[in-house]
A and B are shown apart, each in its own frame.
Chain A
Amino acid sequence: EADIYQTPRYLVIGTGKKITLECSQTMGHDKMYWYQQDPGMELHLIHYSYGVNSTEKGDLSSESTVSRIRTEHFPLTLESARPSHTSQYLCASSELAGDGTGELFFGEGSRLTVL
C-alpha cells in the first residue's frame, strides 16, 4: 500500500468558492505531482515539485496553484472554482531519480464537482 493520502475524496461546491485539495505522503519522497484526469481517462500533469520551495507547471495549463512548504505536503488551491474545473485530481510522489525513472505512487484522488 502506498502511503500517500488525498482529502477530500469528494467535493461538491458552488461557483466562485475557494478550495484546497490536500495531499500528504509519508515516504519521504522529494518529487510530488498533481495530475488532472478527465472523464475520458487521460492523465494530464498540471503541477510538480522537486522538493521544498520548488514548484513547476506541467504540460496542461491550469488555473490552480500549488505550494511545497514541507516535504510531505503538496496542496493544490483554486481561488475561484468554476464548472470547467470539475474533474478528478490525482496526487503522486516519487523518489528523485536523476535519470527520470522511478515509480510514481498515486493517491486515490479527489473528485471535484463545481456547480
Chain B
Amino acid sequence: GENVEQHPSTLSVQEGDSAVIKCTYSDSASNYFPWYKQELGKGPQLIIDIRSNVGEKKDQRIAVTLNKTAKHFSLHITETQPEDSAVYFCAASGAGSARQLTFGSGTQLTVLP
C-alpha cells in the first residue's frame, strides 16, 4: 500500500518568514495530493490539493509543488501569520479500487510573533 513520509515534525518560523513542509510517497500510481490544516480542538480542513497532471498550484499565500519523478510534494506558506500556526498533514491517494487517502504524520507549525 501507499506510504507517505512527512518532514519536519515540528517547524518554528518568525512571522513574515516562509515555511516549507515536504512529503514523499511510495506508490507511483497515486494521483491526488491534498494538504489539510488542523487547528487546536478542531478537525482537519482541506487547504489546497494538487493532481498529478499539474506541477504547481498556488492559492494566495499557499502553494504546493509536485515532482512525480521523485515522488515528492511540498507545501509552501509565504508571509506567515500567527493564524497559520496549526498542524499540517499531507496525503496521497492510494492505488486499487478502495483508493483511500494515506496521511503523513503531521507537522506542527508555530509562527512566532
Contact = CB atoms under 8 A, between A and B. Distances in A.
Contacts of B102: 59
A107 B43 contact: yes
A52 interface: no
A59 B1 contact: yes
Interface residues of A, number: 21
Contacts of B42: 106, 108-109
B32 A104 contact: no
A40 B32 contact: no
Interface in A85-115: 90, 92, 99-101, 103-104, 106-109
A75 interface: no
A104 B105 contact: no
B43 A41 contact: no
A92 B51 CA distance: 21
B43 A103 contact: no
Tier of interface size on chain B: 20 to 34
A100 B93 contact: yes
Q: Is the interface of A mostly helix, strand, loop or mixed?
A: loop
Interface in A21-47: 40-43, 45
Nearest to B46: A103
Interface of B: 1, 31-32, 34, 36, 41-46, 49, 51, 87, 89, 93-94, 98-103, 105-106, 108
25 contacts: A2-B45, A40-B106, A41-B105, A42-B106, A43-B44, A43-B106, A56-B98, A90-B44, A99-B31, A99-B93, A99-B99, A100-B31, A100-B93, A100-B94, A101-B31, A101-B32, A101-B93, A103-B49, A104-B46, A104-B101, A106-B42, A106-B44, A108-B41, A108-B42, A108-B43
6 closest pairs, A vs B, by CB? Answer: A100-B99, A106-B43, A41-B106, A100-B93, A101-B32, A43-B103
